[in-house]
Every structure is written in structure tokens, then in C-alpha cells.
A and B are shown apart, each in its own frame.
Chain A
Amino acid sequence: MQAAEQSVKTACWSCGSALTAGQPFCEVCGKVQAPGSCVTYFDVFGLPCKLVLDVSALERAFYKLSRKLHPDLYAQATMQEQQWSLEQTSLLNDAYRTLKDPVRRTEYLLRLEGVEIERDKSSGDEKKDSRVPADLLEEVFELNMQLEEMRMSQKMGEDDRQLRSDLEKAKAQFEGQLADFDAQLQSLWGEWDAALDADGSLAKEDAKNRMVALLDRRRYVRNLVRDVNEALEI
């Protein structure tokens, strides 16, 4: 129901001109508008739901919109407009922060596509099969064992050199994997965008599923790198 509303054109409250959903201002009279209830972060910038994105252009658009929407500019306007400028500004900030970051942008788009990420799964969920392949689980488990050993020996006031060098090696390897994931993610962005242009729902689904799998793996590895860093820095 909400998705249908998204494409519906609305009218400016002030002059009655037609508006596209997500447009913060009326193009005709320049008045600030109420933020739509189902506006996406892509809509805020008037962008298509694509993943390959010119971040510096996004930044410029962000600053331009920020300057126009800033609540200070509405100090003399009606209460309603003041409220809207505040809401629009906060929406704009969220949208910018999310879209400029490659991983958050991808996760956001996947969420728009109905994928649940970093959420608890309800008990009755049938899709609870582990999406992480067994080989990665083994690696994660082994590394966690080493990390635990490292922490234990540190607690005893020892610094196990062999262990430290093993961990450093593992860390380098996982950092390499992270870089690898990011490269793969970028190429999946291209596939997603192309599928969107071609309106190929199968190709879209395929790119979507591969992005979900990739991000799952990435999250594991990212946490590992963080844990290894913590253990090594003590």
C-alpha cells in the first residue's frame, strides 16, 4: 500500500502545483513541504534506487539542500513550516549519512527490497538456515579460539610472541578479504543497476541475493578484524 503511494504525485500545500514524492520544496513557489511518510533516502536527493553513486555529487547536493532547508532560515515562517524544515533537515542528514557509505547504502537498499539485515529473526522463521558457509564458520571459530588464548595469556601478564604473530597474520588475511568483499560489492552494484535499467527481475533478485550473502560474510570478517585489533592493542 505504501509502495503505491510512493509514486503518487502530491500537490504543494501553498500554491497547489504538482510535486514528486520526496521533493523538499515546491519548484514553483519555493515553499518547504511536509516530508512524505514513505519517502526513501534516494528520493530525498531525487536519485534512482541505484547503487553506483557519485559521492562527491551527493555531497554537493547535500550541502545545497542543507543550506536551503536549515531551520534557522525558517525562524520567521509559520510554525508548520518551521516544523517541516526541521523534519526535512533531519531526513536529509539521515539520507546523506546512509547513502555516502558504501555498505550502509547497500544495506539500506536491500532493506527497501524487503531484506532483513542485522535484525533478530523471529522464532517461527523458516529461513533460519545459516547463510554463512561452513568454511568461514570454521575460520571464525578458530580465530576466536586464538583470540581467547591471547587474552588469557595477556591476563597472566605474558605476551605470547608466536600467538601474536599468528594473529597478525590472520588479521592481514582478513583485511585482505574485506578489501576483496568491497571489490565484489562494487561489481554487484553494477549488476544491480544494470538489472534495474533493463527491468530484469530475475537478474535483480540474483544480484540482491548475492549482495545479502556478501554482506553477511563481510560483517563476520569485520567483527573479527575489530576483535583482533582489540586483542593486539592491549
Chain B
Amino acid sequence: MAYSDKVIDHYNNPRNVGQLDKSSQDVGTGLVGAPECGDVMRLQIKVNPETQVIEEAKFKTFGCGSAIASSSLATEWVKGKTVSEALEIKNTDIVKELALPPVKIHCSVLAEDAIRAAIGDWKKKNGVTETEKSAQTVA
């Protein structure tokens, strides 16, 4: 099974690899894993407290090419978005963008989970009310 050019591009030139200060008030950290394949993904965001815009995003992923590409793309996409906009990102968007085959869909699910976990962590740190989030789960 061949990887798409976009996956290979992200794999060879991953965007935003790295780490943000976990203890910083503005930083949210999401650490997620897929027990099926043993992948682990850490995605961090730095949120502007005034505007709620994600100004910085970093990731570090141990896993297959698709997992790396999915998280790399996820950091690209969340940057510049507000927290609530970032929550709109769906794994299916990632699948489409990277042309992931069905067996790699879980990698995109992991990336979406990582975004949600990072935002969840940031919200918890900053005491943001969960109204949007619960609305999301109901929808």
C-alpha cells in the first residue's frame, strides 16, 4: 500500500515538531494513544488568553507515517484558529486531505482526539466553562 504524496511530504518535512512548556498557563497538552498499533501522539497548543486564538502548536508522535502526517497536519490546521474553530476539525477532513486509506483512518481519529485533549487540558487549566464542549457531544 502506497502512501499519498501529502503523507510523504508531512513525514519527510513534519511541521511544528517540538514541545511547548507544559506548565505554562496558556499551553494545553494532549497525550493520546492507540493501543491497536502502539502509537503515541502528543499535541500542544498555546492559546492567546484574550482572543482564544491558537498561536502556536507543536507535536511529537511515535508511530507510522500516517500518524505523523495526521498530527503534523493537525498542528498546521489549528494554528491561527480560535479554540472553538479548532474543535470543528474532524478526522474525516484529515482523511480527505491526506488521502488516507481505510486501514489508516484510526491515525486521523488519533489526531482529532489529540486536538480535543489539548484543548480540554487548556480549558481545564483556565477554568473555561464546558458549555461548548457539552453542546458538541450532544450534537
Contact residues of A with B, CB < 8 Å?
Answer: 117-123, 125, 128, 130-132, 134, 137-138, 140-141, 144-145, 148, 216-217, 219-220, 223-224
Q: Looking across the interface, which residue of chain A has its beta carbon closest to that of B32?
A: A130
Q: Looking across the interface, which residue of chain A has its beta carbon closest to that of B63?
A: A144
B36, A223: Cβ atoms under 8 Å?
no
Within 8 A of A (CB), among B29-86: 31-38, 40, 42, 60, 62
26 contacts between A and B (CB under 8 A): A117-B36, A118-B36, A120-B36, A120-B104, A120-B105, A121-B36, A121-B106, A123-B91, A123-B92, A123-B95, A123-B109, A130-B34, A130-B35, A131-B35, A137-B31, A137-B32, A137-B33, A137-B40, A138-B31, A140-B38, A140-B62, A141-B31, A216-B35, A219-B38, A220-B33, A220-B35
B38, A121: Cβ atoms under 8 Å?
no
Across-interface contacts of B92 in A (CB, < 8 A):
123
Interface residues in B, total, Cβ within 8 A: 23
* Contact residue among B31, B34, B35, B108 (Cβ-Cβ distance under 8 Å from A123): B108
Q: Cα distance A134–B109 when bound, in Å?
A: 18
A128, B35: Cβ atoms under 8 Å?
no
Across-interface contacts of B32 in A (CB, < 8 A):
130, 137
B113, A141: Cβ atoms under 8 Å?
no
Per-residue interface assignment for chain B, residues 81 to 112, with 1 indicating a CB less than 8 Å from any chain A CB and 0 otherwise: 00000000001100100000011111011000
Give min CB distance, B99 to chain A, whole Å.
14
Q: Cα distance A220–B33 when bound, in Å?
A: 9
Q: Looking across the interface, which residue of chain B has its beta carbon closest to that of A223?
A: B38
Give min CB distance, B80 to chain A, whole Å.
25
B42, A123: Cβ atoms under 8 Å?
no
Q: Which 8 A-B pairs have the closest CB atoms?
A: A216-B35, A223-B38, A144-B62, A120-B106, A137-B33, A141-B40, A132-B35, A118-B36
Give min CB distance, A144 to chain B, whole Å.
4
Q: A120-B106, A219-B35 are in contact. List 11 more A-B contacts (CB 8 A).
A: A120-B36, A120-B102, A120-B103, A123-B91, A123-B109, A130-B113, A137-B40, A140-B38, A144-B40, A148-B62, A217-B35
In this complex, which of B36, B60, B95 has the most chain A Cβ atoms within 10 angstroms of its Cβ?
B36
Across-interface contacts of A123 in B (CB, < 8 A):
91-92, 95, 105, 108-109
Give min CB distance, A221 to chain B, whole Å.
9
Q: Looking across the interface, which residue of chain A has its beta carbon closest to that of B106?
A: A120
Q: Looking across the interface, which residue of chain A has its beta carbon closest to that of B42?
A: A141
In this complex, which of B40, B92, B105 has the most chain A Cβ atoms within 10 angstroms of its Cβ?
B40
Give min CB distance, A194 to chain B, whole Å.
27
Across-interface contacts of A217 in B (CB, < 8 A):
35
Across-interface contacts of A141 in B (CB, < 8 A):
31, 40, 42, 60, 62
